[in-house]
Structure 1
Amino acid sequence: MNNRWTYILPGIVILAALALSSVYIVDPREKALVLQFGQVTQVREKPGLYFKVPFLQQVVRYDGRILGLPTQPLEVTPLDDRRLVVDAFARWRITNLVTFRQATGPEGVRFAQSRLEQILNAAVRQVLGSVNSDAILSNDRTNLMNQIRDLSRKEADSLGIDVIDVRLTRTDLPDQNLASTYGRMKAERQKEAAQELALGNQEAQTIRATADRNALELTSAAQKKAEVIRGQADAERNKIYAGAYSKDPKFFAFYRSLQAYKTALKGSDTTMVLSPNSQFFDFLNSEAGRAGSAAAAKPAGAGN
């Protein structure tokens, strides 16, 4: 009896080991391939309990979740020759296990990440090299990132993976180019300021010239109108003088002489030294002057 159990127990252990080695479980977070002599025989993408041939078949597991890949800093040169340092981050996942196995071999995910980083760098250089640096440094870069994603997805399809999304995490200037870039930006701003100042001065000169011309035209018109009014007033004055002279020539001559004396002797400190025989007193010494003086000194209503 004991001898029989001696042979049965090892057999039971061997059968249990064979049974355990033929069972494998696929986790919901992973996918699996069953290989036999290096060739794919089964693809397991759904979670569950599965069986395989012990010792002949091998189960290779892959992460079925969305994976992330940050790239190393990369220098790119946009159209305006301003060098930029760019970092990108990609999200990807395995979509075709057979193609992925054939493309990556035993290294699997590690090889896929290395190859995908090369694909991303090439796509970043191609897309960012076709635009100006202002578009790369702006806040709205969705279109550029979508272009990088589409190019990467097309190239990564041969690896059996799908590039879900690509994001530019950093776009900076290289440290050695900061000083020259800032100097160039400053020069550009100064040039723009000088242009605006020149345009402002030109506009100011135009406005000033227009104002001067308008002022000159208004002044000329006012002077012309003043001369016309002055001429009309002089004509009216001469008309009045002529009418007065025609009514009483002697009195008019006397009045004009008195106005001339008044103008000549105007002022409290005016001194004139004249000879009694001067022509200045001719009218006063004449008969008309004496008659005019008597008529001026005669009280009103004393006679004709």
Structure 2
Amino acid sequence: MKKTSFLIPVAAILVAAFLSSIFVVDEREKALVLRFGQIKQVITEPGLGFKVPMVDEVARFEDRILTLQTPLIEVTPADDRRLEIDAFVLYRIDDVVQYRQAVGAGGESRAANDLSGILESQIRAVLGSQGVTSNTILSPERSGLMDQIRVRSDARANALGLKVVDVRLRQTNLPEQNFDATLQRMIAEREREATDERARGREAAQRVTALADRTFEEIISEARRDARIIEGEADAERNRIFAEAYSKDAEFFEFYRSLAAYEEALKGSNSTMVLSPNSEFFNYLRSDQGSRSDEGEQR
């Protein structure tokens, strides 16, 4: 009886000791077995682990991707237009031993602090480098800049046992005190561009107008030349016809020409003319001309 009562507590102690020596590592975790603060075992795979009860302790670390958001960072790109930028970073604990040694008892909060400082310095370095302007930051080239920040941040975060998975720039704003000045400068730049465009437009319009005027003059000159040629040919044809008619009946031709001259000279309301009565112009208007004609016919 006494022996049985003695064995039961011993068995209970042994079972408790055995159970306390067992621990489980979740698939979302990594773990370190520490003995008096010294690392005795590194566990990176999920499953059961063993430790010395009352001597060893288990430090657990996240194996999932973690997120960190930076405060507003003021950067000055190459065009001296200051911007306020905030970013977020995705990272994970890559080397638990290095991480434990780097952050010590500070744990996740100290790691986040150190990583935030690294990220801020690299954002300033990349976005403030030569050739990077505010327009570049706001353009599709932004993704290339974020890749540069990620690579440079990851190289420095290795010392903390961290792996930087991704970096994204979120808001890109102008500081409040610079907003009006920047807006006025943008307006002035757009007005200058508009003035240049209008000047180029006026220059192009003048070239088009000059070309049109020259083409117009050339067409008019050619038309006038062709008209004169046609008029000359028509006059020549008319003279030929007159000459042919004159050669067939000279007296009738003179009569016809006289009638045409009377029509031209006496048209309109004013039919008064001052000429000598003996002028040849009145040959066909004098009465004796008709008598002579009758006498000539009687003869």
Category of TM-score, reference length = shorter chain = 0.7 to 0.9
How many Å separate the matches in 1 of 2:32 and 2:285?
151
Counterparts of 2:147 and 2:243, CA distance in 1: 102
Residues in 1 aligned to 2:90 and 2:293: alpha-carbon distance in whole angstroms: 126
Query: Which 5+ residue runs of structure 2 have no aligned equivalent?
Result: none
Q: Note the C-alpha offset of 1:153.
A: 0.7
Amino acid in the other structure paired with 2:144: N
Conserved in 2, the CA contact under 8 Å of 1:250 and 1:292?
A: no
Task: Select between 110-119 and 141-150 the one with higher mean Cα deviation.
Answer: 141-150
Answering whether residue 41 of structure 2 is matched by residue 66 of structure 1, we say no
Q: Partner of 2:270 in structure 1?
A: 270
Q: What are the superposed Cα offsets for residues 238-259 of structure 1, whole Å, 9 maximum, x if unpaired?
A: 3444455555555554544443
Q: Secondary structure at 2:283's aligned position in 1?
A: helix
Describe the shift of the 1:145–1:290 C-alpha distance in structure 2 as closer, same or farther (beyond 3 A).
Answer: same
- The percent of aligned pairs where both chains have the same amino acid is 48
**Residue 251 of structure 1 contacts residue 292 of structure 1 at CA under 8 Å; is this kept in 2?**
no
Q: What is the match of residue 204 of structure 1?
A: 205
* Maintained 8 Å contact 1:127/1:147: yes
Instruction: Note closer, same or farther for the CA distance 1:102–1:281 as it changes in structure 2 (3 Å cut).
Output: closer
Partner of 1:114: 113
* TM-score using structure 2 length: 0.83
Q: What whole-Å deviation, never above 9, does each CA across 1:24-44 have from its counterpart, x for those lacking one?
A: 433333222222232212222
Query: In structure 1, what is the equivalent of residue 91 of structure 2?
Result: 92
Aligned counterpart, 2:283: 283
Range with greater deviation from structure 2 (124-133 or 275-284): 275-284
Q: Deviations over 1:82-135 (max 9, x none)?
A: 111111111111111111111111112111111100111111112222312122
User: 1:213 and 1:289, CA in 2 relative to 1: closer, same or farther beyond 3 A?
Assistant: farther
* Contact map agreement 1:152 1:163 (CA 8 A) in 2: yes
Counterpart residue number, 2:30 = 31
One-letter amino acid of the counterpart of residue 199, structure 2: A
- Residue 80 of structure 2 is matched in structure 1 by 81
The answer to whether 1:161 aligns with 2:159 is: no
Q: After the TM superposition, which residues 234-253 of structure 1 pair with which residues of structure 2 at under 5 Å, given as runs? A: 234-245=235-246, 252-253=253-254
Give the direction of change, closer, same or farther, for the CA distance of 1:284–1:94 in structure 2 (3 Å limit): closer
RMSD (CA atoms): 3.4
Superposition TM-score, scaled by structure 1 size: 0.81
- Is the aligned partner of 1:226 residue 2:227? yes
- Would the aligned equivalents of 1:120 and 1:148 in 2 still touch at CA under 8 Å? yes
Q: Deviations over 1:206-244 (max 9, x none)?
A: 122112111111111121122222223333333444455
Deviation, structure 1 residue 282 = 5.7
Structure 1 contact 76–85 (Cα < 8 Å) conserved: yes
CA distance in 2, matches of 1:128, 1:138: 13
Change (3 A) 1:283 1:111: same
Aligned residue type for 2:30? K
Query: Structure 1: where are the runs of 5+ without partners?
Result: none
Aligned length: 297
Amino acid at match of 1:220: S
Select between 49-58 and 37-46 the one with higher mean Cα deviation.
49-58
Distance 1:206 1:293 in 2: 73
Deviation digits for residues 28-61 of structure 1 (CA, Å, limit 9, x no counterpart): 3322222223221222223334333344333222
Matched letter for residue 227 of structure 2: A
Find the aligned partners of 1:275 and 1:139 in 2 and give their Cα distance. 98
